[in-house]
Amino acid sequence: MNFSRESSKIFGLIAKIKFPKIVQKQINGLYVNYFKIDMSEFKDTAEYKSLNDLFIRTLQIPRKIEDGFISPSDGKILQCGNTFLADEEHFAFSIKGHTYSIVELLKDSFEEDELQNGLDYINIYLSPKDYHRYHSPCDMQILSATYTRGVLHSVNEKHLECISALYTKNERVSLKCQNEKGIFWLVFIGAQNVGKMRFNFDTNIQTNAKISYNFTRKYDNLNIKKAEELGHFELGSTIVLISQKGLLNLDLKVGQSIKFGEKLSD
């Protein structure tokens, strides 16, 4: 039995329970206070009918959308920069001193020639306090979605230090995308207690489910506008953004906080 997957399913079920209003209000308040969540952009804490509703809360005050290529989500930048070659394979850092293979991460969502000229990457960690919805970082076309089955380790910094190449072990969905500058990938990585990852453009993609195989779904003319909502995590996780060389001009600092709508690159 995969304990992390089973515990995540159980947690997901509990989070969806709608307790009596007075009880739910207390549960929500405890969660918000414990994780020090800023609720100024959202409905009042007491209005959410379950913990899951609170996790996937929507913005009530529209965000300012900055120029350029924007962050797809709220979170913390754990690492960013250029990939490097080792034994003719591209690698990136999850956190300082710990690496993962780009080929292993992306699995069936790329062609070899798309990686040849080098890559840039950003790892964005969404903690339990963060806004859990994710959005398009630019006007783009989604070419495919690749589901890769895996375990559900926690993806916080402590676990990244303890588990080698953690991102390539966890369940994930890789979106292969394209804009006028080139190809990039948005990789949504599942984590312990992440009940589901949802995608608005394709509700048939199911995560944390009884799926025993990997698959890729290809799309024709699936165009998404900048800042358009793509879907949501049911609790915190990680988004890895990988782009072909020259698509992004990164000016970011490891450890900085970022919010959906803020500029990542020109």
**Active-site annotation, residues:** 74, 135, 237
Q: 239 and 137 in contact (C-beta within 8 Å)?
A: no
Alpha helix locations (H) across the chain?
3-15, 21-35, 51-55, 102-106, 157-162
Contacts with 111 (C-beta within 8 Å, 6 or more apart), sequence order = none
Q: CA-to-CA distance for 179 and 143, rounded, in angstroms? A: 11
Give per-residue burial for 116-134: e unless 16+ CB within 10 Å, then b.
Answer: eeebbbbbbbbbeebbbbb
At position 158, the amino acid (one-letter code) is K
Q: CA-to-CA distance for 154 and 152, rounded, in angstroms? A: 6
Q: 174 and 186 in contact (C-beta within 8 Å)?
A: yes
Over its C-alpha atoms, the chain yields an Rg (Å, rounded) of 18
* DSSP per-residue string spanning 79-95: EEEE-EEETTEEEEEEE
Q: CA-to-CA distance for 219 and 196, rounded, in angstroms? A: 22
DSSP 8-state symbol, 28: H
Angle of CA points 150, 108, 165, to nearest 5°:
45
